[in-house]
Structure 1
């Protein structure tokens, strides 16, 4: 089968298309034939040795955290799935950039047979992250004010729609007017261009000094401390990334003053609670099927163009999900 492997960390040029042996499922596993592959910024970090298992990787290794396809074969003891079933998957061990993969059956997310492959590959990582941020880690409800950093990113656009569907007001931050227009198109009420204004000062002005009830922060060091101060009484900040660097140590006593909460979320946690992931996927797909949720698919590329796909992601040239077809 075709697969994208790396033999060392580095630039997009380390990504190689190779013929490798097709895997076989063991007990409790399924063999998945990929119809569409999701591409994520985290995979560019993994390629550079800056993410997850950076110090533990055995080369050569396949990249890729999510895919969707058809179950081709099941291993012994698998009763929940059968050949021909359609599933989405987010992998415990990167293996998505290939024609086939093997994964534990309980980590597969069953999907409707008529679900477009583009949606099936686009929703697992970004859709589940947004869902659990808005509806599980926090009980977002009418009257609340939610501030979303990187609002025009994949998770940001989905979280915006979910928060609006829950009746909240959404304030988003981004760098350009072009991105602001995209976020407004998905329902964001107010946009702060952090390249022009201090996001915390502007958010206080927009809320008449009240502050916000929830902050979704994937930026980290550059926004975290100001975000904590921006929280309204009983407000919560959820850290789910650190694009600008690791956040400084928080002072728990400082949180007591306004009964504020700091939380963290990492999608990998769901890999140890597959039933929770499956319930979340049903909710996300239900919103999409009801027309309440839009996924922005920017383009579908052949697997052979993986180097260019990574360059586009790293160059911040994208405004939607990038997919690859094996």
Structure 2
């Protein structure tokens, strides 16, 4: 990752300089390398989210999006969406400060981006000298040609218009409806994030049905997403506008284009993890992390049974458990999913849709049973789970895809001196330090190849109902994501 920073003093009042720079399409008037530029869709040039589409005088083409604009702080942040130049993940911030001596303006311009290996210095010079230093001189020349001070436009509404998928009433997938929403300016301790990818999880189904009463309709659902910080509230020190971030937290509300939420639940993404991967791994990856390292500290040589082994959490559990030295057996609904589960580390798979697996599990373990059962199924699998447990085994139920338990047979657990746990991710991530540790361990597992993601199911945000139908039909393999 390259970081380029330049600063300059402009001999003009800050109000005058800001009136020019806050116009996201003004660079054709003052920057010497810009040939022509338009704001797409005729949006206002100071509207956060607008896109400028421009051509450089050398023929290169760039599209940039305005991520944040603060008239109070004289700050704007933008990113490159696509370009003919080989620059990736370019995010830049312009900040002005008042120089009282002579009523001048201090202009700070910085960016981070990636380039092909071996060309780092070339592009650092291109941006630092050609874009930033050239821009400083271009604006000075423009101000000399245009001595009159333009009026400063007043700041717009602090809310941002966005689109979201809202649960209109509790029920099936069809209750998910597209509606216009607003993302308010962040209060102290909050952050506003523009989503680029949103994770779909079975907990979203529970909430949509009303089994988990975490919303009151009409309201958006969704627990995880990745994107870019637009702006932050007072007191937020670990995030800056332009940061690539992700989160997995309550309350629901991720099925939107832009969201305001507590900054304490948001983590900065490593450069090597893209937004789609982050949106697919935050909730499921940290779930696998706490199941394997906290609820039950898995030991090498233990036999584990993973239900829905070809699902989003199941695939991560299989890979990670095998890496920890466990023997993994998975249940799946089809032969195709069995092949996927075996490729993820299952030593054996049990195929079926009738929730009957205990006999096959005992056959695969020589009659001993499973030391640990990772259960996201719930009620329909309860009796078979008890039968499948080894003596002194640990049954961990982290989801209820088939429905909640009618009654937990405690006396049956006692017959095997077995342990039952019903953990919740958000209890483990309530403290910032624990959240950071869990996220970093998940990211490190991705970096090392301990876990891998194959994102086969992508849907427009507006097709959230279709994503839910396919998830509930058990026809999907691995994670599902929505794209705003």
TM-score, normalising length from structure 1? 0.92
Alpha carbons 2:315, 2:478 under 8 Å: kept: no
Alpha carbons 2:374, 2:397 under 8 Å: kept: yes
Alpha carbons 1:216, 1:238 under 8 Å: kept: yes
Shift of residue 126 of structure 1? 1.0
CA distance in structure 2 between the aligned counterparts of 1:216 and 1:231, rounded to whole angstroms:
11
Give the match for residue 318 of structure 1.
476
Does 2:322 align with 1:164? yes
* 1:47 aligned to which of 208, 222, 230: 208
Structure 1 residues 144 and 69 mapped into 2: Cα distance closer, same or farther (>3 Å)? same
Cα RMSD of the aligned pairs, angstroms, is 2.0
For 1:264-283, what aligned pairs fall within 5 Å after superposition? 264-283=422-441
Structure 1 residues 102 and 206 mapped into 2: Cα distance closer, same or farther (>3 Å)? same
* 2:467 aligned to which of 290, 299, 309: 309
For 1:232-311, what aligned pairs fall within 5 Å after superposition? 232-250=390-408, 252=410, 254-311=412-469
Alignment partner of 2:404: what SS?
coil
Structure 1 residues 7 and 289 mapped into 2: Cα distance closer, same or farther (>3 Å)? same
Q: State the 4+ residue runs in structure 1 displaced beyond 6 angstroms.
A: none
Does 2:195 align with 1:24? no
CA distance in structure 2 between the aligned counterparts of 1:69 and 1:131, rounded to whole angstroms:
22
* 1:135 aligned to which of 293, 305, 308: 293
More deviation, 71-80/304-313: 304-313
CA distance in structure 1 between the aligned counterparts of 2:361 and 2:414, rounded to whole angstroms:
22
CA distance in structure 1 between the aligned counterparts of 2:218 and 2:308, rounded to whole angstroms:
33
Larger Rg over CA atoms: 2
Give the match for residue 207 of structure 1.
365
Alignment partner of 2:211: what SS?
coil
Alignment partner of 1:164: what SS?
helix
Shift of residue 27 of structure 1? 0.8
Shift of residue 46 of structure 1? 2.2
Does 2:339 align with 1:181? yes
Alignment partner of 2:346: what SS?
coil
Structure 1 residues 59 and 191 mapped into 2: Cα distance closer, same or farther (>3 Å)? closer
* 1:221 aligned to which of 379, 382, 390: 379
Alpha carbons 1:92, 1:271 under 8 Å: kept: no
Give the match for residue 389 of structure 2.
231
- Matched pairs, number: 323
CA distance in structure 2 between the aligned counterparts of 1:181 and 1:264, rounded to whole angstroms:
29
Alignment partner of 2:366: what SS?
coil
Alpha carbons 1:85, 1:113 under 8 Å: kept: no
Alignment partner of 1:219: what SS?
coil
Does 2:248 align with 1:65? no
CA distance in structure 2 between the aligned counterparts of 1:4 and 1:259, rounded to whole angstroms:
46
Give the match for residue 249 of structure 2.
91
* 1:5 aligned to which of 159, 163, 166: 166
CA distance in structure 1 between the aligned counterparts of 2:408 and 2:217, rounded to whole angstroms:
38
CA distance in structure 1 between the aligned counterparts of 2:475 and 2:383, rounded to whole angstroms:
29
Shift of residue 220 of structure 1? 1.8
Structure 1 residues 290 and 271 mapped into 2: Cα distance closer, same or farther (>3 Å)? closer
Structure 1 residues 83 and 181 mapped into 2: Cα distance closer, same or farther (>3 Å)? same
TM-score, normalising length from structure 2? 0.63
